[in-house]
Amino acid sequence: MKRIAVLCVGNDCPGLNAAIRAATVKASELNIEILGVKDGFEGFLSGKIEVMTRNTVSGILHKGGTILGTSLFLPVNEEDIVQVAEKVEQYSITCLLILGGRLGVRAALKLMQSGVPSVLVPATIDNDLSFSDFSIGFFTAVEHVKDALDILHATAESHHRVMIVETMGKPGGWIAVVGGLAGGADYIITSAEPLDIQELLKKIRSRYESQKRFSLVIVENDVNLPGEIYQLANMDSHIPPAEAIGEFLEKQLKDINMEWRYTNLGYLQRGGSPVSMDRLIAIQMATRAVEMVKAARVYHAVGMKGLTVTEVPYSDTMINVRTVEEHLKNLAKLFY
Ligand code: F6P
């Protein structure tokens, strides 16, 4: 009997449980035994491994996070890899099913070099994996950004303020741009594109001088701002980017008494019940991963091309960051 061990690697995201449930149900249909690994590779090495059944995964579809737990630990040095291989042997595991983002990719590639088989299902709110149009969790993060902008609109409009909203997803820019597009952001600053300071000032000023004396500005976390911003506002360069933008705008737009407030969406983007699209892609990709193990097609990642599931052989390019598509960036600008 074939045996799959499923584990989460790296940061959590909504939809992991939908994938764990789908893999378990599919494995049971195909007569494959499925093991759940607690807390990623850290738990794997300490033997936190249990058989899962349909019962184990009952009632988890709608839950955020992961019932298995996760860890940022990666088996990349020789000693850890040998230990992973030993555990694979000890538990007679045919293949690991890795759910994760860029850390998951790194682990899968490293283990491949030592002959430890895996299939990988992309799961990260950042949506920045080179081999898939979508990764599990992205659509829920976008939903949260959209909801936040809808809420922040009220105060922005009532007080005629610039609301600076900090999002995750560096450096790909997906959450900021797609969330901003869906929620009607008036300007979006990401690592995926150099900031044009004059254009930013012009946009905020022209909105203030028109009937709309408020703006919603998205700033991706840890974005590298041009030094000029700090110089012009006479600020310490250690000020976090989102706040630096607020200070800068206030100082440069003194004549219109521009007021700003800052909201960091932080981990509110990474939790909560997965939206339908995340559940659907999780179900599609996780069931395909199990079919691939059944057919001995390992060392492959599962991906999405539009709404179609794809299988992509592991390669070094999987590690590359996929930045948000040009046409989406341009579309967002149409509404500035
Ligand atoms: O991987 C998802 C992500 O949300 C990134 O966008 C973000 O930079 C990172 O996680 C932050 O995670 P943590 O603070 O848990 O290290």
Range in 56-65, 125-134, 224-233 the model is least confident about:
224-233
DSSP labels, 203-263: HHHHHHHSS---EEEEEETT----HHHHHHTT--TTS-HHHHHHHHHHHHTGGGT-EEEEE
The pLDDT value recorded for residue 120 is 98
Ligand 1 pocket: which of 218, 270, 322 to mutate (most atoms within 8 A of CB) = 270
Task: Tokens 């599609």: give the residue.
Answer: 284
- pLDDT over 90 (residue 188): yes
Query: Annotated catalytic residue: which of 12, 39, 80, 126?
Result: 126
Mean pLDDT of 57-80: 97
Which atom of ligand 1 lies at the shortest distance from residue 72's CA? 16
The pLDDT value recorded for residue 290 is 98
Q: Which residues of 102-125 are buried (b: 16+ CB within 10 A; e: fewer)?
A: bbbbbbbbbbeeeebbbbbbbbbb
- pLDDT over 90 (residue 293): yes
CB atoms < 10 A from the CB of 210, how many?
A: 8
Ligand 1 centre from 52 Cα, in Å? Answer: 29
- In the DSSP assignment, the letter for residue 274 is P
- pLDDT over 90 (residue 148): yes
What's the CA gap between 40 and 42, in Å, rounded?
Answer: 5
- pLDDT over 90 (residue 43): yes
Mean pLDDT of 191-212: 94
Domains of the chain, first to last = 3-137+274-320 (3.40.50.450), 140-270 (3.40.50.460)
pLDDT tens digit sequence for 86-113: 999 999 999 999 999 999 999 999 999 9
Ligand 1 pocket: which of 8, 9, 11 to mutate (most atoms within 8 A of CB) = 11
Mean pLDDT of 189-211: 95
The pLDDT value recorded for residue 237 is 86
Verify whether residue 126 is a known catalytic residue. Answer: yes
Ligand 1-lining residues (CB < 6 angstroms): 11, 101, 124-126, 168-170, 221, 270
- pLDDT over 90 (residue 333): yes
- pLDDT over 90 (residue 7): yes
* Ramachandran angles phi, psi of 313, nearest 5°: -60, 145
**pLDDT level of residue 211 (50, 70, 90 thresholds):** confident
Which atom of ligand 1 lies at the shortest distance from residue 13's CA? 2
Which atom of ligand 1 lies at the shortest distance from residue 125's CA? 2
- pLDDT over 90 (residue 64): yes
pLDDT tens digit sequence for 247-272: 999 999 999 999 999 999 999 999 99
Ligand 1 centre from 316 Cα, in Å? Answer: 22
Share the mean pLDDT of the chain.
97
The pLDDT value recorded for residue 232 is 85
**pLDDT level of residue 151 (50, 70, 90 thresholds):** very high
Nearest CA owner, ligand 1 atom 10: 11
